[in-house]
C-alpha cells in the first residue's frame, strides 16, 4: 500500500495545524472538561484538564500568549478574534456560573486565563500539608500492589503539582547563581 505524499494530499492536514482553524465541531456550547470548577474543587486538576483539551484542539496558544492577536488591520484579525471569543466561551462553560460571571469583562482568553491563575492558582500550604499527611498514612492493607502503588503515585503527583521541585533558573548548573542545591536541600 502506498500513500500519496504530494503537496495536494498533505495540504488538508496543514489546515489542522493552524490555531485559527475552527472545525465544525468547535461550537460555543462545548465543554472542555466534565469537571466544572466551582472554587472549592481542585483548581490544578481543572486547569490541567482544560489546558490539555486546548492542546488537543491546537488552541493553547490563546491562553499561554504564544498565539498573539494580529494588528486590527491584518487580514487574520477577525478570524483570530473569533477563535479567542470561542475559547473564552469554552472556558466559561467549564466554570460554575458564579465564577464565569466574574470574568465576563475579560478582554481575551489569555486575560481570562491569567485572572483564573491569579485567583485560584496560588499554592495552598494547607493543601500541601494535608497531602503530605495523607501520603504518610497510605498503607497497602488488603489492596493489591498495583492499587497501593497507584494510590501512592497519585498522591506524589498531586504533591509535585502543588509543590514542584525547584529547577535551575540561571541555566548553568556548573556556575549556578540561583542556589538550586540549597533550595532542594531545604525541601
Q: Is the pLDDT of residue 12 over 70?
A: no
Could you tell me what percent of the chain has a pLDDT over 70? 87
- Backbone φ and ψ for 140, nearest 5 degrees, come out as -75, -40
**Cα–Cα dist 137/134, whole Å:** 5
- Residue 144 forms beta bridges with which residues? none
Mean of the per-residue pLDDT values for the chain? 85
Higher pLDDT, 169 or 157: 157
Q: Which helix (H) or strand (E) holds 133?
A: helix 125-137
Give the Cα-Cα-Cα angle 14, 83, 25 (nearest 5 degrees): 70
Block residue for cell numbers 466544572:
36
Which of the two residues, 138 and 167, has the higher pLDDT score? 138
Least confident of 87-101, 112-126, 152-166: 152-166
Q: Name the helix (H) or strand (E) containing 34.
A: none
Q: Taking residues 85-111, what's their average pLDDT?
A: 96
Give residue-wise pLDDT tens across range 37-96: 998 877 888 999 999 999 999 999 999 999 999 999 999 999 999 999 999 999 999 999
- Does the structure show a pLDDT above 80 at 23? yes
Mean pLDDT of 3-20: 64
Amino acid at each position: 500500500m502506498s500513500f500519496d505524499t504530494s503537496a495536494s494530499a498533505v495540504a488538508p492536514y496543514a489546515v489542522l495545524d493552524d490555531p485559527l482553524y475552527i472545525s465544525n465541531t468547535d461550537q460555543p456550547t462545548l465543554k472542555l472538561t466534565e469537571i466544572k470548577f466551582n472554587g472549592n474543587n481542585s483548581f490544578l486538576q481543572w486547569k490541567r484538564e482544560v489546558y490539555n483539551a486546548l492542546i488537543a484542539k491546537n488552541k493553547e496558544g490563546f491562553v499561554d500568549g504564544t498565539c498573539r492577536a494580529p494588528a486590527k488591520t491584518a487580514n487574520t484579525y477577525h478570524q483570530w478574534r473569533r477563535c479567542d471569543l470561542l475559547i473564552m466561551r469554552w472556558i466559561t462553560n467549564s466554570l460554575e456560573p458564579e465564577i464565569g460571571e466574574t470574568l465576563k469583562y475579560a478582554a481575551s482568553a489569555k486575560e481570562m486565563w491569567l485572572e483564573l491563575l491569579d485567583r485560584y492558582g496560588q499554592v495552598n500550604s494547607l493543601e500541601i500539608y494535608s497531602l503530605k499527611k495523607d501520603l504518610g498514612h497510605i498503607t497497602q492493607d488488603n489492596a493489591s500492589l498495583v492499587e497501593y502503588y497507584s494510590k501512592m503515585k497519585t498522591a506524589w503527583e498531586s504533591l509535585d503539582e502543588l509543590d514542584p521541585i525547584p529547577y535551575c533558573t540561571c541555566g548553568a548548573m556548573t556556575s549556578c547563581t540561583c542556589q538550586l542545591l540549597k533550595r532542594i536541600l531545604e525541601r
